[in-house]
Amino acid sequence: MASVYKNDNAQREVRAWCVGQIADWGIAHVRREVVTPTGVTGVVTTGPEPREGEPSVVLLPGTNMNAALCLPLVEVMARNRRVVILDLPGQPGLSTGRRPDVRRMAWYGNWLTEALTQTVPGPVVVVGHSLGGAVALASNAPRIVGRVVLAGAGLTRLRVPVRLLAATVPWLLLPSVARSARLLRRMAAPGRGDPPGDLSAWMHLVARHCRTSLAPPPLPSSLLNQRRAVPTLVVAGRSDPFLPPRTLGPAARRRLGAEFRVIECVGHLLLDEAPVEVSALVEEFCVGVGG
């Protein structure tokens, strides 16, 4: 199995950054680790105890992201609901850095099923962004009562526009905070301005210390047909360069039978660009599936 980290020191630096960000969060929370067959999984929990039968939200960050990058969104969601953030194995963060070379999505699906049994006692709505959305769909855990897929991979192939590729190559080959900010601007909606400083600093850290992974291919139709039994909401940013609504919407309806929504004036970075709007959609969905 390959590691996301270039060496042991890289892993220590990434872990220290994440631990520091979460420790400085001004919201009551619990950070812990659980051990699954894939290795250690980092877990952050916040928000009120769920009432009987009420689903908790389990948030799965996307490629190169983790709990430490999701705190502004989670702060909004946790005003009304228990939120559990799981760092994906094989991505930079507080979970194991190892990921398989083959059958990666089946591996992720099994990981999520096991992680849910150890971290959430009752029903859950899994909210996955980008790669996290594909992982949410890969698991058939019986306690999943709904899924919210945000700019989710796994339904159709991602586009990589030339302008975005032109920002990605220098970011990887000659990492700097400025090149990280340029890449993030290409991922966001036009006119959004500079990305948050913490996000640019993080992407600089990733380029220096990590081996970024590619987006997963579309999940098999047979698997997606099985997922139709559980309600799913797919959400796209109007200006997402990877998964524009004109591509993601038809794929979500045709391949998954899912409801599809669009958030205006937003690109691929839904968690950072529109935390209030995303939180409102997730809460509305949770009420609809379980109170």
The residue type at 288: G
Phi-psi region of 193 (alpha: psi -120 to 50; beta: other; left: phi over 0): left
pTM of the model: 0.96
CA angle at 162 for the pair 159 and 168, rounded to the nearest 5°: 90
Contacts with 114 (C-beta within 8 Å, 6 or more apart), sequence order:
36, 37, 38
By C-alpha distance, which of 154, 174, 166, 142 is closest to 234?
154
pLDDT in the model for residue 191: 86
Q: State how beta strands 56-60 and 124-129 pair.
A: parallel
Residue 135 is given by DSSP the state: H
Q: How far apart are CA 71 and CA 65, in angstroms?
A: 11
Q: How far apart are CA 87 and CA 44, in angstroms?
A: 9
Contacts with 75 (C-beta within 8 Å, 6 or more apart), sequence order:
25, 27, 275
pLDDT in the model for residue 190: 92
pLDDT in the model for residue 291: 65
**Domain boundaries defined on the chain:** 2-290
CA angle at 202 for the pair 114 and 215, rounded to the nearest 5°: 55
Contact present, 195 and 181 (Cβ < 8 Å): yes
CATH node for 2-290: 3.40.50.1820
The CB density around residue 18, as the number of other CB atoms within 10 Å, is 23
pLDDT in tens, the chain (291 residues): 789 999 999 999 999 999 999 999 999 999 999 999 999 999 999 999 999 889 999 999 999 999 999 999 999 999 999 999 999 999 999 999 998 878 899 999 999 999 999 999 999 999 999 999 999 999 999 999 999 999 989 999 999 899 999 999 999 999 999 999 999 999 999 988 888 889 999 999 999 999 988 788 899 999 999 999 999 999 999 999 999 999 999 999 999 999 999 999 999 999 999 999 999 999 999 999 976
CA angle at 66 for the pair 11 and 246, rounded to the nearest 5°: 130
